[in-house]
């Protein structure tokens, strides 16, 4: 057998040796790397249904350029003294898409480690810092022979029983991440939606602040969140920040609405009338623009739009995001026969609970399966698939 067919053989280039010579370690074999990845048990952060892929796929080329050109971003990216930047904005302003598209662009253009994690309270594996640590170790692994050797020799060596990763303290995993990043000439760490992290994990915010201060010239930390008090109290004095105000993103929303409406066709007055109304009512919220254009596209599918139809269509455009949700609930109530009072009760229980609820707790009466089915339908109608799978059905 040709020795080059050996699956444990690793061929190194001069660049490989140069990059990691200071650390004094050589890369592990593909077989060993696979065993370490299995042991880490990261989330499926590159799967098509992952938060990262979902937001990257939602990105529209040509939007977000203002952010890359902003002084806050340029200072963070280029300054050796600024290691962390915090993007804050209300829900629906496009923070997650901006974070995901920034991660994808940096990885493509700079060919350095770009670590990312998207906190989501309603996704079982995306609301605790321990999953961020596992994902980041997984994402760092191919870049760091030192980390490969540390994890394999200390935890994974298959000559003995691998240690259960759940028995490794989070402080120890975090130290491995920080030590690995300290060897890197440049690395980016992107954390989205800090406000959706478990409230009993707030001590992790301090760890992130310290990471942003560790080697600000080479470790660049990008954070996003809504402007909620418990996050603002921790970050405002320690991290540079940029706020996504409506006037900053209105050009992007205009570009997005233009992209969605033009393919619909119809008379020129249809586009000319609808676009400014949607852009104005969006108030800088991409979520409003997406939901409204989705509904318009569905409503006029297969229909030849006449000038006489335009006033009726304009009348149907919701005034605000709140009106979008109200309309969805009204439509659901009409189709399903579920009273509005029942809808309100279900949503109040699900959105204000301090812990995940079972459907039997939301609908405890033993009348029939109708209450449970109604709860599921309401949550799914509102696009709250995460509530239905991650909260309501636990």
Instruction: Give the model's confidence band at 282: pLDDT under 50 very low, under 70 low, under 90 confident, else very high.
Output: very high
Query: Model's pTM, two decimal places?
Result: 0.82
Instruction: Give the model's confidence band at 375: pLDDT under 50 very low, under 70 low, under 90 confident, else very high.
Output: low
Percent of the chain with pLDDT over 90: 57
Q: Report the distance separating Cα 21 and Cα 74, nearest Å.
A: 31
Per the model's pLDDT, the better-predicted residue between 1 and 11 turns out to be 11
Q: Report the distance separating Cα 256 and Cα 272, nearest Å.
A: 15
pLDDT the model gives residue 377: 56
Residue corresponding to tokens 């991440």 = 177
| 3-class state of residue 165 by DSSP | helix
pLDDT the model gives residue 159: 72
Q: Report the distance separating Cα 205 and Cα 143, nearest Å.
A: 25
Which residues lie closer than 8 Å to 264 by C-beta, 6 or more apart?
270, 271, 296, 297, 300, 305
pLDDT mean over 152-163: 84
pLDDT mean over 257-286: 91
pLDDT the model gives residue 265: 82
Q: Report the distance separating Cα 288 and Cα 321, nearest Å.
A: 5
CB < 8 Å & 24+ apart, contacts of 109-112: 110/186, 110/188, 112/184, 112/185, 112/186, 112/187, 112/188
| 3-class state of residue 332 by DSSP | helix
Instruction: Give the model's confidence band at 357: pLDDT under 50 very low, under 70 low, under 90 confident, else very high.
Output: low
Q: Look up residue 92 and give its two tokens.
A: 């629906």
Q: Report the distance separating Cα 47 and Cα 55, nearest Å.
A: 12
pLDDT the model gives residue 368: 47
pLDDT mean over 240-267: 90
Max mean pLDDT range (157-161, 306-310, 386-390): 306-310
Which residues lie closer than 8 Å to 350 by C-beta, 6 or more apart?
357, 362, 379, 384, 387, 391, 392
| 3-class state of residue 43 by DSSP | coil
Instruction: Give the model's confidence band at 351: pLDDT under 50 very low, under 70 low, under 90 confident, else very high.
Output: confident
What secondary structure letter does DSSP report for 164? Answer: P
Least confident among 10-24, 93-107, 138-152 = 10-24
pLDDT the model gives residue 394: 27
Q: Is there a contact between 190 and 177 (Cβ–Cβ < 8 Å)? A: no
Kindly state the helix (H) or strand (E) to which residue 146 belongs, with its residue range.
helix 145-151
What secondary structure letter does DSSP report for 80? Answer: T
Mean pLDDT of the chain: 84
Q: Compute, in degrees rounded to 10, the torsion defined by CA atoms 31, 35, 40, 42.
A: 60
E-assigned strand segments in 315-363? none
Q: Report the distance separating Cα 355 and Cα 390, nearest Å.
A: 11
């Amino acid at each position: 057998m040709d020795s080059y067919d050996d699956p444990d053989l690793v061929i190194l280039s001069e660049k490989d040796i140069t990059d990691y010579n200071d650390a004094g370690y050589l890369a592990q074999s593909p077989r060993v790397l696979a065993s370490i990845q299995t042991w880490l048990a990261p989330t499926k952060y590159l799967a098509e249904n992952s938060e990262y892929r979902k937001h990257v796929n939602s990105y529209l080329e040509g939007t977000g350029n203002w952010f890359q050109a902003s002084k806050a971003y340029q200072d963070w990216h280029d300054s050796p003294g600024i290691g962390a930047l915090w993007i804050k904005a209300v829900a629906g302003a496009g923070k997650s898409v901006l974070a995901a598209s920034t991660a994808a662009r940096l990885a493509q253009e700079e060919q350095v480690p770009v670590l990312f994690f998207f906190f989501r309270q309603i996704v079982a594996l995306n609301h605790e810092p321990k999953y961020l640590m596992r994902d980041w170790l997984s994402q760092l692994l191919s870049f760091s022979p030192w980390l490969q050797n540390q994890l394999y020799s200390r935890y994974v060596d298959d000559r003995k029983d691998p240690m259960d990763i759940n028995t490794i303290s989070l402080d120890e995993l975090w130290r491995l991440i920080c030590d690995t990043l300290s060897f890197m000439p440049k690395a980016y760490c992107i954390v989205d939606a800090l406000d959706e992290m478990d409230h009993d994990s707030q001590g992790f915010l301090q760890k992130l602040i310290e990471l942003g201060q560790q080697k600000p010239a080479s470790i660049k930390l990008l954070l996003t969140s809504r402007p909620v008090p418990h996050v603002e109290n921790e970050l405002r004095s320690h991290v540079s920040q940029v706020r996504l105000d409506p006037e900053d993103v209105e050009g992007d929303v205009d570009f997005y609405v233009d992209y969605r409406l033009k393919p619909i066709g119809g008379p020129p007055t249809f586009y000319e009338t609808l676009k400014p109304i949607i852009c104005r009512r969006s108030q800088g919220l991409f979520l409003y623009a997406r939901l409204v254009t989705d509904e318009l596209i569905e409503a006029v599918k297969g229909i030849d739009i006449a000038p006489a139809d335009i006033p009726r269509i304009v009348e149907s455009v919701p005034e605000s995001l709140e009106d979008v949700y109200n309309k969805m609930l009204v439509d659901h109530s009409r189709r399903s026969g579920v009273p509005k009072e029942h809808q309100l009760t279900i949503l109040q229980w699900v959105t204000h609970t301090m812990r995940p609820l079972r459907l039997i707790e939301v609908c405890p009466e033993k009348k029939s399966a109708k209450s449970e089915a109604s709860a599921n339908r309401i949550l799914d109608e509102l696009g709250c698939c995460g509530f239905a799978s991650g909260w309501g059905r636990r």
